[in-house]
């Protein structure tokens, strides 16, 4: 069972908010946390441990809408994924733009492709979809009503 010092520090600071830890190797790990603590944990990683925010990925699974925030510790090559699971009906979470500008565009994109509301984001205008697909349609959600005229993708499940 590999342990990583960075994860141990996070667990020490945020004990209750950490739901699960999965360490794949010395350089790859995923920590599942409580959505309400995303800002505090991210701030800790960014300011105290000097992680760099890479990007965030959102996907729908049986457990809900999962968002993975990918952070990189460049001095060691570690990629730490912060995973949060959001409810499919009330999909919202606090925005990270207060911490770093790097979260701005990706949160806008996640908002329009999968329908996550980022609280306190300065500008949730569409980034890529204006004119490209219909209002209220979230292409990355399954079982979504499609408006007429939009090509349906052939996804294998």
Partner 1 sequence: MNKIIPIGPYHPLQEEPELFKLYCEGEIVRDIKWETGYNHRGIEKLSESKTFDQVFFLVERVCGICSTSHPFAFANCMEEIGEIEIPARAKYIRSIIGELERIHSHLLWVGLAGHFLGYNTVFMWAWKYREPVLDLFEMITGNRNSYAMFKIGGVRRDIENYKIPGIQETLDLLKRKTNLLIGAVMDDPVIHARTKGVGVLSREDIINYAAVGPTARASGVDIDVRRDDPYAAYPLVSWKVITAQAGDVFAKAEVRLLEMLESISIIEQCLEGLKKEKEGGTEVLVKEIPEGMGTGRAEAPRGEVFHFVKTDGSNYPVRHKIRAPSYVNIATFRKACVGQTISDAAISLAAVDPCYCCTERMAVAYDIHTGEIIMNGAGLLELSVQKTLKLKS
Partner 2 sequence: MFHFGGASCNNCDIEILDCLTPRYDIERFGMMLVGTIRHADVLLVNGSINQKDKIRLLELYHQAPKPILVVAIGACGCTGGIFAEGNTFAGPVDKIIPVDAYIPGCPPKPEAIISGIVKLINKS
3-state secondary structure of 64: strand
Distance CA 51, CA 5 (A): 14
150 interacts with partner 2 by CB under 8 A: yes
138 interacts with partner 2 by CB under 8 A: no
In the bound state with partner 1, the residue whose beta carbon lies nearer, of 89 and 123, is 123
Element (H, E) at 79: strand 78-86
139 interacts with partner 1 by CB under 8 A: yes
Least CB distance from residue 16 to partner 1, whole Å?
25
Non-local CB neighbours of 140 within 8 Å, separated by 6+ positions: 58, 59, 60, 113, 114
The torsion angles phi and psi of 30, rounded to 5 degrees, stand at -130, 130
Q: Which of 20, 89, 135, 153 binds partner 2 (CB under 8 A)?
A: 153
Q: Is 148 exposed, middle or buried (0-12, 13-18, 19+ CB in 10 A)?
A: exposed
* Nearest Cα residue to 120 out of 107, 130, 133: 107
In the bound state with partner 2, the residue whose beta carbon lies nearer, of 131 and 136, is 131
Q: Which of 51, 53, 133, 138 binds partner 2 (CB under 8 A)?
A: 133
In the bound state with partner 1, the residue whose beta carbon lies nearer, of 17 and 80, is 80
In the bound state with partner 2, the residue whose beta carbon lies nearer, of 14 and 140, is 140
Q: Which residues bind partner 1 (CB under 8 A)?
A: 24, 27-28, 30, 52-55, 57, 59, 68, 70, 72, 74-77, 79, 81, 100-102, 104-106, 126-132, 139-140, 153-156
């Amino acid at each position: 069972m590999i342990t990583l010092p960075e994860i141990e520090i996070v667990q020490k600071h945020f004990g209750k908010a950490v739901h699960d830890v999965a360490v794949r190797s010395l350089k790859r790990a995923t920590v599942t946390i409580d959505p309400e603590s995303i800002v505090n944990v991210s701030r800790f990683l960014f300011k105290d441990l000097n992680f760099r925010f890479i990007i965030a990925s959102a996907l729908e699974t049986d457990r809900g809408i999962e968002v993975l925030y990918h952070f990189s510790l460049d001095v060691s090559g570690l990629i730490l994924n912060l995973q949060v699971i959001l409810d499919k009906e009330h999909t919202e979470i606090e925005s990270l733009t207060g911490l770093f500008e790097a979260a701005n565009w990706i949160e806008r994109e996640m908002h329009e492709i999968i329908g996550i509301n980022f609280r306190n984001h300065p500008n949730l205008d569409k980034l890529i979809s204006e004119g490209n697909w219909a209002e209220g349609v979230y292409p990355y959600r399954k079982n979504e009503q499609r408006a007429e005229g939009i090509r349906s993708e052939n996804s294998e499940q």
